[in-house]
Every structure is written in C-alpha cells, then in structure tokens.
A and B are shown apart, each in its own frame.
Chain A
C-alpha cells in the first residue's frame, strides 16, 4: 500500500485536503494511506512515506525536505488546487509522482 504524506505548518489546513483526497481515493478504488502532519514531525513521519507533498505555504522548506529524503519524490501542491481543496486532482498528481 502506498503511503502519501502531506506536510504544512500545523497539519491543520492540510488535514482538510487529506479528507478530500481519501474520499477521492475511495471513489477511484486506489488503495493508499494519506495523512497530514506538521513539518516539526518531518523526520519521524517522512521516513515511511512513498511520496511527500508540501502545502504551498511551506514551499520555502522544500530544499530542507529534499535534503532530508533525497530518494523520495517531493512536490509542492499547486496553490489553486490546494485552496479549492481539489482532493482528486492532488491525489492524481501524487499517484503520477510515484509512477
């Protein structure tokens, strides 16, 4: 099972998006685990991730994340998709990243 992990400042607004993504995953029949955390938990929670997505508000931390996990796909979520809480589109993006 693929493990998609999202990070933002407190993990709060991102968890809104996560619930939309989970609903989309169910609808599309994709078997994956999706969760949101605060960037403070990067080392602990990023380790098991197959794919790391960052909220656009913490995009300035992307370098730090890629240095911590050079082998993992890392991306910043598109601002509009994030704001409109487009769970399906973000999920498709994540699935593409994991190949």
Chain B
C-alpha cells in the first residue's frame, strides 16, 4: 500500500517540482535575488553596525562621527535594493529567453524602464528641487515594481528578437557592435510604451506606477505575508518535498523571496534608521528559527545520534553530520538516516520545523523574542551566530531552546530506528 502511495506521490511531486523550478518567472526572481547577495550582505553589515542597540556603542559612533559614514553605506545598498534587483532580475529573465546573448543589454533596458516611471522633482513649494529623484522609489517598496518590470520588460524585448524586428548590420560588423544596434528598436519602442504608462499613471489617484503597484499589491500581499499560515504552508511544502528526496528549499525559495524579501528589507531599513522594526515575519525566520539546522530541523536529531547512538551506523553518521547540521546543512542526515521515504521519521521531520516555527511565533507575539532584523544570512552560517546577528543574544539563547525541542521531537523516533540498526548489525555479525 505504502509503495503505491509513494509511487503516486513521486508521480505528482516530481513533475510539480520540475514545473515550479522550470517556471521562468520564479527562476528569474530567485536567480536575480541570489545575484544580489554581495549588495545585501554589505548593506546588512552596515545596518548592523549603525543600528546595534547598545547605548555605549551608539554614543561612541555618534560622537566620533562614524555613524553618518556607516549610514551612507546603507543608503546606497539596502535602501536602494530595488535598483539593483531590477537589473539582475531582468538579466536573469533575459538569460532564459531567446535574447540571452544580449542579456546585459536587456537588463540595461529594464533598468531604463524602471527609472522612466519614477517622477523627477522632490519636495513642494519653496523647498522643491526639480532635478532630484526621491530615493524612496529605490528601496523595499520598489521591489514589487522591480520584480514585475524585471519579468515583463525582457519578455516584451524578446518579442522583437523572436520576430526579428531589429536593425541588422552587414556580416562584417563585429557582433558586439551589431548587438548594440539590434537593441535600438526594442529599447525605443519600450521607452515609448513606458512613457505612456508613466503619463497614464499620473492621471490615476496613485500618481506613479510605483505607487500604483505598491498600492494595489501591498494590502493583499501583506495580509498574505503577515499570516503565519502562509509560512506554515511553505514550511510543510518544503519538508514534504524533502521527504520525497527532492530539494524542497530550492523549490520554495522563490516563493519565500517573492513574499518575504520585501518585509526583510523594510526591517533592515528601519534598523539602520534606528526605528522600530515593522514586520514580524520575514525571510530571516526561515533560517534562524523554523528550519534551524536545515530542512527537517535536524540539529536535535544530530545531537541524538552524536551522543546516544548505539548502532555503529548511527554513531558514524552522528560524527559526520553534526558539524554540517550546526551550519544548516542537512543532507548527510536527510540521506544518511535516511529521512527520505522513511515513514518512521516522517512525523518528527514535519513536526520539528513546525513546532520550532510556532513556538518562536508565539514567543515573539508575547514579546519574549524580539522582531528579527531582516539580515539575509547565507546558508552555512552557524547556529547561535545566526540567532545573534538577526535577533541579538535573546534569539541565540532561544535557538538553544529550539535545539532541545527538536531533540525531544526526534528522540523517541530515533530510538526506534537505532534499535533496528543494532539488530541488523547483530544479525550481520552472526552471519559472518
């Protein structure tokens, strides 16, 4: 019966995972964001340095004049993240289309469209500056526009390439130059389109395309992201995929980026500005609390094995897996125990991340845990350090509690598989 169930699930899940990871839009957004890592990291470090909430430290950096210098870095990284995102998402999108051999040109055109819809002039009346652009369009609120334009502009551009509506140079012209010329028609037509779009937006009550997109998407999206149910669904989806041995994170990460990146960036901006953090749930939650130790929330299980295994097999695996687990790399455990297709381990594998998430959520609601600051740590950041950097020492201590929780969830199930392994080893020894 179980075999049939597994076969049926594999038949539906593998194509689903395939389809999701083949979706151009999801790939463009997730590829585009992952290319932003250096900018996000530099911004995060600067935010951390300027926002670190210790009075002595704040007084020190303010008195020696270091604070404005650090803030300056945040201004050009975190606070302008949409500007970088529109280029890199546009490029990631173009890379998947027929216009891929000129993806840099497509990305530049996408950036141009993004800028075209931003109004010039800042302030009103006496203090108005005509030749200025408000950088607020480049920050977290602009990410929605960046994601949409990053996908739409390359698709339109691609139509010109596909139907060959480009200026063609004679054969002897170097491809570099020919490519530049071939971009002229699509870039010009797109400019006309977006200038019209810009003008049309001024007729609406929103005024600009950015405010229109933000205004229309913000409410439904934030009710989606603020709800813990959304997070739980992503978490369940990810870990069920892992149960079938499919890299769940790779599939769910695009959704996580799309929904929870902007809230994380808003928190970072707020931290750098010394304001209260606006968003409870952000992308940071995934690594810091919910999937502590990687998929399946397995640090607790690694601890079970490392200290309590009786079978040779799990003793060895405990030694192999504990350090990677502390750095959120769960594959040795997922495939070594294995958790994959192991019905006995399915319950704790689903329960451990779920309980880690829910308990952290409740503790944050009642004010024991602080809001996480939105720093995007790369996978491989050791536990405790990840907690400390995103939520201070309280979060780091809480991670220790979560490991104990994971341990409690996994221990009874681990005892069963360990016992089984001991018997298998005995039987094998008796045979020899």
**Which residues of A are interface residues toward B (Cβ below 8 A)?**
8-10, 12-13, 16, 39-40, 55-61, 63-64, 79-80, 82-85
Contacts and interface: CB of A to CB of B under 8 A. Distances in A.
B21 interface: yes
Nearest to A58: B247
A8 B333 contact: no
Most buried by B among A8, A55, A63, A83: A83
B307 to A, nearest CB: 19
- Chain B contact surface mostly: helix
B171 to A, nearest CB: 27
B329 A79 contact: no
B317 interface: yes
B18 interface: yes
Interface of B: 14, 17-18, 21-22, 31, 34, 242, 245-247, 249-250, 316-317, 320, 324, 329-338, 340, 379-380
Nearest to A79: B335
B14 A60 contact: yes
A-B pairs with lowest CB-CB distance, top 6: A83-B336, A83-B335, A13-B331, A57-B247, A9-B250, A9-B247
B317 A9 contact: no
A63 B250 CA distance: 17
A13 B21 contact: no
A13 B14 CA distance: 21
Contact of B331 (A39, A55, A61): A55
A56 B335 contact: yes
A59 B340 CA distance: 13
B18 A60 contact: yes
Contacts of A56: 245, 335, 340
Nearest to A13: B331
Contacts of A64: 22
Contact of A82 (B31, B247, B249, B335): B335
